[in-house]
Structure 1
């Protein structure tokens, strides 16, 4: 057998082991997601600080440009046209301190100059110089040619931030603002990029990555940080004012400037902030692997250790299980099957032992009633072993003879006669024992088909016997009225010792035998039949009169003679059982004498005589036998009377016509025919055979088969329909009769086989 329970336990342990591991893994994934979200929010918050700082610088530049455009000295200077005159030079010398003052007021400014477009010269915070000299002073060695610089200076600017050379950031504005389209000069403020980068780097963001300022075309204006991304990085896909883009290598967060068309972008390598997460993840993976390894080994060891006792039990019980082992799914099912079968065997054994003990106890009680047990000390020990305990020393016996009980069962109820009789005995025993036990100690048994009750009474005398008879009457009424079971009860006298129990049984049996004379469904105490009449009145002249009445077919006179004989013998006291039987046999003998002169070939009458003798010998009561004698008298007298009319030629046609009209009637019988024509049954049977040469049954079956053959060939009716139309009770009987007369079944006849 497969170790299915072992595998199930091992799998269950591993599943339980995997639960905390799966929870840990879920927590790890969730923590990683939360950490990523937190890093992104932190980057965006720091980037907003960078934006606020840079936007403040741009606002300061715009403010300073506005102030310079409104400065009187600057305006007067820009109005000068004689660029080579001494006065112009003096104005320049006077302007330079003013420019120095503006430069000193803002620490983020490295320097600035005003470029005059017409004379091609510029004024800085330290001197005035030609354009080429000015270019060399500020942009020499940088990635911007002089031509490119001059072109930038000739344009008009409303005030913008530009990266004029790599790494430089400048604020450019045309002067004056009032003449923006034809401005004669251009203000260029050179920002201190080192100061700006230092300020940005102080916001921890750039310490772990890079910060870039990107213009509207996605070109980096300035970089801050130790790790400078590749120049090919695409910043044109950064849409919206705020957002984050995460790829395999970097986390890119950006925010749009409120003062310029720039975007401030942070580039943080993913590995920087995921290193600790990766380390934690690695530790968790290692711990999960160790947990699976160690937990799996422990689960296997513990499961195997706990499984071994079950395996030994399975090896022990598997040969004893009756079921097919291949159909059993696991060891628990096998053990459950074994325990169920074992319990069933125990229940069967216990039930068998209980039934055997009960049967032995009942058998012993029956033997005790019949006086077939040893007396003395051995009897007392045997009574004790079977649980018979008597509270007093007075005993009586009741015998219940069960008569008709067919009303208790439904006609369609499927139960054999033996089972029905056992059920009836159970009802009688339980009800009677319960009622009698209300006042006395009672034990019951079945003796020769009768229910016997040994009653141990508390007292004796007429009062005790009257109480016992009342309980017997109550039990009889309940059983007869509610369960339709006919009972005749014989009750013994009360005796005062255990040794008198067999005598009690004999008295009850003798009292019960008088049901033949007194009748059934009565309670017959032994005291009532103790004095009975043994004289029989049956004079010879009355016997001769009865014979003459029978021979002449005079039923009324014959019945009156029998009634006179019976009533005379029953008057003046109870006729003894033996005398009653003798009277019945005398009457039977007389009727047999009266029928001796009849012809020996009268089979119907001979059969009636044989059945009469059988019924009379089995008669249970005097009244039953009397009724059977009257019936026989009616049969004989009707036979004699019918024989006188046997030559009635019109009777045959009437009978045959009646049979033809009633072939479909399932109740068509010789009895129904005799009632229809007011004739004796046996006589009608003989008459029918004399006239047709067939018995009544054969003739009816022939006619029904003839009708069935016509219906089979001329109609499409089913076998069941034809069965009803020809008067059979069911199709099986019809098929059997048809085959007996035709040699084939109805179906074969219809097919022409």
Structure 2
């Protein structure tokens, strides 16, 4: 196929062909692995079958050879044989009767095994042979049974004169090639040392063993060998028994080894009898394994060639067929795109670059449009809030452009002042511009969603705060709408504070109509936000709460003089009462303006400074404390914070006055400690109760106690209670719960936690340790 105009030099079609070729390698590799695994399986199965045949042969022969052991035992303990062993020198009539009785027993013994030819006993001192049918002199027995063998009579008697303990022997190694079989030799009496008195010889029939052996041989045309415990061949399936080198090194109960025999490689499977210590070996030519594996190999090769041929044809056809759509796409892009296809890699790289350029341009255009839309949207809301919309401006149509459909003509404004969001970012984070925008995003999304439950709302940033324009539903009354707005503010504070740890104050305006009323609603929300100084942080301030304002506050001269007198006398409780009375009375008056509240705080602060100077106190720290209070007031602190600061200042002034009169420092410490030791068992004991008893402010007492004692009041009380609890745990048998209550702990869990904190173990463990000690 001719190369298309503008087509890159490296074609995707060639890559597809290479990919298909790689895919073809997968079945080829799998078939190769299958061949080798199949060869291993064939070898394993042949070896397993050989082992099974050998196991059957071993069990069959062992079951019959066991008879030789039982026969030797029966003969060794036969009373007639034992009598002949003792009296074999003189054979009288009694001894001959004993022989007859023994022969009767022998006939019974010889009737149960098909592997047994016959057996005889040679008596050394009597020089006679006793068989299962008769008795002979040694000369007569040799002439009848052994004269035709290569074993001389002298060697035969020498053989019988040796000591045997149930030993099997190959008959051919004794009698020569003229006779085959196995012998079982046992000296009598059994267990006696030295020269034997008699020797039991059991001849095993090799004619009966060979058919069983040849049955195994016939399975795979191998050779069977039976070896004794010293690896000597007892018998085999060969016509002439012979040794082979590989049989000498067989180890273990069973296994398979490879060796060389008669010029070819053989595989020897073997198994050892646990009863006779004989080894049964099956020698099989290794070529039999190869013959069975070659068939699998040839079949595998044929299938590989077929798969390779068909796969190659399929790969070429599929590559040509799949490349046609891509070729048409490349031709279309080359006509429309302004990108040179040469030097761009393959077709995919060219298409990817063209698409990335197109999508990049579209993304950039959409981003710019969205940014402009957000700016225009925020600008529209700011213009509505600040009344910068010209008369007759189509507000509904403008909002509809941003997907906003008004529910009614009534609006309200909620103003949000963010005070703290360190819990969201973490102490280590720096609250920069990006994090501030993140906080605004959280507030905007959540407030708009909450507003949408009953009405609808839109958030925007204005003058360093966030404003939410709420459009009230048509069917909602004014009272219900105002209740919904307050509930919206409460839910926003609760949810955002709990989930995101963002703290803020909310100001809520009244309801107004359409665009002309939005600037008024925003101004109402701004005025309400001013009163966060009075209501404190995280407050919800409605414009209805601040609409009516009185001109001034009430601070009579007699109250001011009383406050000065109490301070000069060091009477903190009475001075604090005057301070609380004046502040509570003025704050209780509805509509007191925030400016008047600031003036009241300044006035009362100056009163306390005047009292300190009239008391002739030369304490620079008091003035520094008062300066901080003034700075907080001018800095916009809340009334609650200012009140707390003034109370602390008042406590310090009174404490210094009392200290000058009565060395109050040491007496306050002693008074506090005495009170703690006297009331440690009271679970209501706290800094407040101690400060009330001592007549000082709680915050002052806390700082004073820490500086004098070295630890906080709560730590000192808890340690004192734990020490008393240790005494009760060591001496009394009361319940741990009762111990905790007896020393002033409110709950057993608190008792256990604090006890373990200071002692390192729980109360129960401490009690057990104390008992052991």
Structure ID, larger Rg: 1
TM-score tier after normalising by the smaller chain length = 0.3 to 0.5
Question: Given the two structures, how large is their TM-score scaled by the length of structure 2?
Answer: 0.40
Question: Given the two structures, how large is their TM-score scaled by the length of structure 1?
Answer: 0.41
